[in-house]
Amino acid sequence: MIEIHDVSKNFPSRNKAIDTLNLTVPDGKIVGFLGPNGAGKATTIKMMTGILPIDEGSITLNGRDIAKEPIAAKKIFGYVPDAPDMFLRLKGMEYLNLIGDIFDVPKELRQTRIEQLTKQFNIYDALNDHIQTYSHGMRQKIIVTGVLLHDPAIWILDEPLTGLDPKSSYMLKEMMREHADNGNTVFFSSHGLEVVEQLCDEVAIVNKGKLIFYGTIEELREKYQSDQSLENVFLELTSDE
């Protein structure tokens, strides 16, 4: 479970990038995080993952405060950033070994999981190549493999499906569903409304640093005009007027 309590964040150039945000992402559900560009999605995710300090309020992951117990909290979640261009000069296998070492994944477990995941994602044959030579989708897959390698309870995914081929995208969605059904937390941001509609149990919509809606898609439709498409509801909800 992810609990965000009264969180605010200011930047020198922009006051209240996040304005007293309250959000609880429950276990067993896939929660989509939506909002127009610059709404505060990335800032929220960066605070959740310890990349940005929190100015006010608190964020806990399965009861661990990210600001007070950062190492314990970070061991609980796996994070796929929006740009998978990390550790480009390492080989795929070297990256996975580094992640395995950081998260204390035993060698035997590593062997099974790496083989299984990379074969599923079709990147097994590229494991001995530098990540730099990977396509965008392959980079995304190696990062996702790194996350799944240590099997965290909470998944925080920033635009995880961008660049994935249909098969891998389908697989990741299945994995997300399975992870949530096992009582874990899946929180992901996306601009793809169809994916959100198809995959999420609940959605959180932010605009200008504030949470403007939290609930199921049905509740969203009910609250606004039910006959409209999600796209229209979203556009209406986040319009400036």
Partner 1 sequence: MNKTWLLVKTMLKMQYSKAGTSQSQIWLYVVAGIFLLPVLFILIPAIQMLVTAMYEVLAPANQESLILGMLLLGLHILLFMISLVTVINSFYFAEDIQSFIPLPLQPYQLLLAKAANPFLYLYLTAGAVFLPVFYFYGLASDASFLYFLYGIPVFLLLPLIPFTIASLLLMPVMRFVNISKNKDRSKVAGGILSLLFIIFINVLIRLNTDTDGLVENVALSLQEGDGLLRMLTIYYPPAYISTLALSNPLSLTGILSFAGMIAMSAAALVLFLWMGQLLYLKGLLGTGSGNKRPTASKKVQKKISARPVWLSYLQKELRIIFRTPAFLMQCVVQSLFGPVFIVIILMLDFENNSFSGLLGGFSGKQTILLLFIATVFIMGSNGTAISSVSREGKNWHANLFLPLKPAQYFFSKIAAAWVINLFTVLLALFIFVFFLQLPVGTLLAWLLVVLLASWFTSAVGTYLDFLDPKLNWTDEQEVFKWRITSLLSLLITAGPFGLIVLVLWRVNAVEGLYVTSLVLLVILAISILIIHQLLRKKINTNWQQQI
Q: How far is the CB of 130 from partner 1 (least distance, A)?
A: 7
Contact 128, 120 (CB under 8 A): no
Sequence-ordered list of residues with C-beta below 8 angstroms from that of 233, at least 6 positions apart, any chain = 220, 221, 224, 225
Q: Which of 129, 165, 197, 202 binds partner 1 (CB under 8 A)?
A: 129
Q: Which of 81, 84, 160, 209 binds partner 1 (CB under 8 A)?
A: 81
Sequence-ordered list of residues with C-beta below 8 angstroms from that of 24, at least 6 positions apart, any chain = 1, 2, 3, 4
Query: Per CB under 8 A, does 111 bind partner 1?
Result: yes
Q: Reduced to 3 DSSP states, what percent helix, strand and coil does the chain have, rounded to the nearest 5? A: 40, 25, 35
- Give the nearer residue to partner 1 in terms of CB position, either 12 or 166: 12
- Give the nearer residue to partner 1 in terms of CB position, either 1 or 72: 72
Query: Per CB under 8 A, does 102 bind partner 1?
Result: yes
Q: Which of 16, 27, 52, 191 binds partner 1 (CB under 8 A)?
A: 52
Query: Per CB under 8 A, does 55 bind partner 1?
Result: no
- Helices (H), ranges, 192-239: 193-199, 217-223, 230-238
Query: Per CB under 8 A, does 87 bind partner 1?
Result: yes
Q: Identify which range of 26-34, 119-127, 204-212, 233-241 contacts partner 1 by CB under 8 A.
A: 119-127
C-alpha to C-alpha distance for 217 and 189, rounded to whole angstroms? 15
* φ and ψ at residue 136, rounded to 5 degrees: -55, -45
Cα-based distances in Å from 183 to 3, 8, 63, 98, 154? 16, 29, 15, 28, 10
Q: Which of 106, 227, 239, 241 binds partner 1 (CB under 8 A)?
A: 106
Q: Which of 1, 93, 195, 230 binds partner 1 (CB under 8 A)?
A: 93
C-alpha to C-alpha distance for 89 and 86, rounded to whole angstroms? 9
| 75's tokens | 């061991």
Binding mask 148-187 for partner 1 (x = CB under 8 A): ----------------------------------------
Q: Which of 13, 107, 218, 227 binds partner 1 (CB under 8 A)?
A: 107
Q: Which residues bind partner 1 (CB under 8 A)?
A: 46, 49-53, 70-72, 74-75, 79, 81, 83, 85-87, 89-90, 93-94, 96-103, 105-107, 110-111, 114-115, 124-130, 132-135, 138
